[in-house]
Every structure is written in structure tokens, then in C-alpha cells.
Amino acid sequence: MRQIPEATVARLPVYLRSLTDLDNDQHITISSEQLAESVGVNAAKVRKDLSYLGSFGTRGVGYDVKFLINQMSRALGLNRDCPVIIVGLGNLGLALSNYGGFEERGFPVAALVDSDPTKIGRSIAGHTVVGLDSLSCIVAEHPNVIGVITTPSSAAQDVADALGAAGVRSILNFAPVVINSPTGVSVRKVDLAVELQILSFYDQHRQRTARIPDVAKGA
Amino acid sequence: MRQIPEATVARLPVYLRSLTDLDNDQHITISSEQLAESVGVNAAKVRKDLSYLGSFGTRGVGYDVKFLINQMSRALGLNRDCPVIIVGLGNLGLALSNYGGFEERGFPVAALVDSDPTKIGRSIAGHTVVGLDSLSCIVAEHPNVIGVITTPSSAAQDVADALGAAGVRSILNFAPVVINSPTGVSVRKVDLAVELQILSFYDQHRQRTARIPDVAKGA
DNA sequence: GATACTTTGTGAACTTGTGCACGAAGTCGT
DNA sequence: ACGACTTCGTGCACAAGTTCACAAAGTATC
């Protein structure tokens, strides 16, 4: 099978969610047209994207919802155990630890980590906070774990390196700083201020340039 | 001045942060090469991006850091008052309300909104929760306010419509659902599960495809 | 002031992503 | 079984974004 384009990969999770909703609503099959409408893109794009996973559609009918969910989950690696470690228990880290959204969507919290000795040992949202030295242990137990960095910017690079050294292969970075990925580690960044600033830009320029670009790509 | 490409707009906030850091470190000027390194992109791209704002560099020297910060802030509309309204005080909404990161980065919280009568009137992080009917009042006081949706998916579209009707022109949506933008409103989406799923994909495919794409574009 | 050096700004090639349009392949009704 | 109809899969042209490469424009030194 050919290499899946980056733009397509970024859309697969969005399709997957729509499909899950449709499955819950008892839909058996769906056409590219319908799926396209529900995620807000072009139907041809949907078909092209899905075709990278294989030829799963039936002409004249559409795609089997359950089957597609299965294939897509497999492609995204969601049939494995996919826990997260939250590193940095400041405001945002605490918030995310108490936010149940991770587990709910198939990414259970494996551990909470902080370097502050006064925080280590505390219990937060059912987890006992451990130190950075416990990383390798955690990774040994959860080989596919994803590191979530919610430390201050100044600590982010060091934490990323520590995660990499401990064998973590994927990092989601909330610290507002560009991280130099350790070798073999992929990093994605989420930055709320950046999102707000982009919105601010388009708001300020709205008057002169009527067009408001579709900004779905922001995650 | 010509229309600024979308991809460039998404990078401006990242440049701005690097420049702010550099300014704090007493740097007076910076070359495109250095700035490129600090945000992890190609130097030519930096120059082209900055050239959309105007010809602010000096050949043989580079860019004046403070001047560039100024121009960029103006372009992003950050010299205005840019508050946010958080709508939906479930787990994530509460988390973000208590997270101080918004104000810290120039986006003070103007109000907390929920539709649940048992939540209205409560005080959270120094703000009294109000109902959806108060939206127009808030917008009247804060014309450039950005709506942050942290409701369950099922309520997101209705809230977006209510925000649009109240005069909000920018929305940041955390609900894992595609919103149909009310006319004249720009919407950006942040979805943590999507980010994790993308990471999961590349992790699973790492073995066979050595290349790990640089995923900086994720916000 | 002339020469060597640095760095910008941008035209042009190249890569990636999008959308159309249409043949292929299936279903459905008769 | 056959024709009408639906929908997929994909080749192709076009648009957007990236990178290269180099002239232009400045600084620094002697």
C-alpha cells in the first residue's frame, strides 16, 4: 500500500469520529457524499482519503460503517493499548488530569509525573504522582505510551529528552515552545494562545478581506 | 499589501513568541537564519513570511526584534482588547477557567457561561457564572470577544449559533464535533483526541516507514 | 571610496494538496 | 436478464505552499 499523505492522516481521526456517531445512530452504510457533509469537506477528498486505506466501498451503495470503523481504527493503531503520561502538574497539567476526556476517548492516563518533590506522592484524580526517574518503569509497562508535556516552557525540552531517553516515541506538547524532537520521537504541539491569535488575525482583517478561510485544519 | 497566505498566518504567532523570548534575552536584531532555527523552519520561509508584513529587514544585518514584535502584534490585532468567553463548565471548561494561561498570554476571561441553572450564579476562578441570555450584554461590553466552546458535542452547534447571534465573530471549539459556522464567524477547532490519534498513527507506521514527518503544523 | 562580506527580498522550480469529471462496478426494479 | 441509476475509485489539471538560488542592498574594514 502506498504512503498515506500527511493531510489525509490528519483527517482520518475526524472521519472516525463521525463514523462512530453514525454507528451509534444505527446507520449501516454511508456514502462519501454524506460523510463529506458531516465532516465539512469535499466528497472526492473523502473517497481519495479512504482509498488510501484500501478499496472498502461498494459502488452504488457506499461504505459499511462498522467495517470502515474497524479498518480505520486499525490504521490509526487504536486497537492497541494507548495510554498517556502527563508530565508537569501545574495549572494545565492538573486541569487535564481531572478532565476525563482522555480515558473517555481511548487514551487512559497511565501516570502523573512531576519533578517537584512536594508534589510527588500526592494523589490526583486517582493517580499517585511520581518523579521523572519513574519514567522508564512506566514505559516498560506501557510500551506505546504517549507523553503529554504540560510543564512550563523552560522545562519542556528537558522533559522531552527524558521522555525520549525512557523510550517514549510520541509526545504531545502543550508548552508554548518549539521542542527539538529527540531522535525517533514524533512531537505534535497544541498551543491555545496560537489558536486565539490566529482567530484575532482573521477578525482584524475581516473588514477588508471578505473571505474567511475555513480553518478546520487547526487540529 | 497582498493577501497573507493561510499557512503564513498560522506561523506568525509562533514567530511572535520566539521574538518575545529573544527580546527578553536582550537581543536587538535577529537574522532570518536564527529565527528560522528557533522556530524550526526554513530560513527562506521566514523571510517570505515576514515580507508579507512589509520590508522590515536590513540587508547585511537582519531584523530589529522590537520593531518586528510591534509590526507583528499589529498584524495579529493584539493591540486591541481580546478577551474570551468560556461556554460550558463541565470538566474541560472548569479546567480552562482555572488555568491561568489565557490571561497570561493576553486573552483575559470576560465571562463564564453555562446553561445549567444550578451552575449559574456560582463563582469560579473569580468570575460569576451567567446564563446564555447574557451573551449579548457581554459582547456589547467586549466587542472583540472570542467564544470558547467547551460544552458536550451535542450542545456545541446551538452554542455556536447563539454566540454568532450575539455578535461574536470568532470561536475556538473544543467540542469533538464539526461546527457549521454561523455567517461571518470564523471557527477553529482544538481536539486533543485527534492529536493523540495522529500520533498513534505515525507510531504504528514507524517500523515500516522510517520517515517521521515533522508535525509542527498541529497548532 | 573600493573591496569583501553578510543578509534580505523575491522570481522560478518543485512538491504537496484539492477538486473535477468520468469510467468502472455495483444495486434495484421490472 | 436488462436497463436505469447510484456511488466508488482515480487520472488529470489546477491551486497552495515550500525551497532554492541569486541579485540587490546594506555593513565593515582598510
Kind plus residue range of the DSSP H or E element containing B187 = strand B186-189
Predicted confidence (pLDDT) at residue A218 exceeds the cutoff of 50: no
pLDDT of residue A207: 61
- In chain A, what residues touch B75 (CB-CB under 8 Å)? 201, 204
Query: Does strand D come within 7 Å of the CB of A7?
Result: no
What mean pLDDT comes out for the span B197-214?
Answer: 76
Rounded Cα gap, residues A194 and A217, in angstroms:
14
Measure in Å the smallest separation between the Cα of A53 and chain B Cα atoms.
12
pLDDT of residue A213: 56
Rounded distance in angstroms from the CA atom of residue A217 to the C1' atom of nucleotide D16: 14
**Using the beta-carbon criterion (under 8 Å), do A100 and B77 form an inter-chain contact?**
no
Q: What is the pLDDT of residues B99-144, one digit of tens each?
A: 888 898 999 999 999 999 999 999 999 999 999 999 999 999 999 9
Put simply, whether A12 touches B (Cβ < 8 Å) is yes
pLDDT of residue B168: 97
Q: pLDDT tier at A157 (50, 70, 90 boundaries)?
A: very high
> For the whole model, what pTM was predicted?
0.93
Of chain A, the percentage scoring pLDDT greater than 70 comes to 93
Q: What is the pLDDT of residues A60-92, one digit of tens each?
A: 999 999 999 999 999 999 999 999 999 999 989
pLDDT of residue B216: 42
**SS3 assignment, position B135:** helix
Kind plus residue range of the DSSP H or E element containing A155 = helix A153-166
Of chain B, the percentage scoring pLDDT greater than 70 comes to 93
Of chain A, the percentage scoring pLDDT greater than 90 comes to 87
Kind plus residue range of the DSSP H or E element containing B219 = none
B55 CB-near residues (< 8 Å, 6+ apart)? none
Q: What is the DSSP string of A199-212?
A: HHHHHHHHTT----
Predicted confidence (pLDDT) at residue A40 exceeds the cutoff of 50: yes
> What would the grid cell of residue A169 be?
516515541
pLDDT of residue B210: 47
Predicted confidence (pLDDT) at residue B208 exceeds the cutoff of 70: no
What mean pLDDT comes out for the span B50-70?
Answer: 95
> What would the grid cell of residue B153 be?
458535542
- Each residue of B97-130: b (16+ CB within 10 Å) or e? bebebbeebbbebbbbbbbeeebbeeebeeeebb
What mean pLDDT comes out for the span A23-48?
Answer: 96
Provide the mean pLDDT of chain A.
Answer: 92
End-to-end CA distance of chain A: 26
Rounded Cα gap, residues B122 and B219, in angstroms:
33
pLDDT of residue A101: 85
**Using the beta-carbon criterion (under 8 Å), do B202 and A170 form an inter-chain contact?**
yes
Question: B203: exposed, middle or buried (C-beta count within 10 Å: 0-12, 13-18, 19+)?
Answer: buried
Q: Are strands B109-113 and B84-87 parallel, antiparallel or unpaired?
A: parallel
pLDDT of residue B218: 44
Q: State how far the alpha carbon of A68 is from the alpha carbons of A52, A59, A99, B67, B191, in Å.
A: 12, 15, 29, 52, 21
Among residues A157, A212, A201, the alpha carbon closest in space to that of A179 is found at: A157
> What would the grid cell of residue A97 be?
488530569
**Using the beta-carbon criterion (under 8 Å), do B9 and A96 form an inter-chain contact?**
no
| In A25-148, alpha helices (H) | 32-39, 43-53, 65-76, 91-98, 101-104, 135-141
Q: What is the pLDDT of residues A93-145, one digit of tens each?
A: 998 998 888 898 999 999 999 999 999 999 999 999 999 999 999 999 999 99
Q: What is the DSSP string of B62-78?
A: EEEHHHHHHHHHHHHTT
pLDDT of residue A190: 96
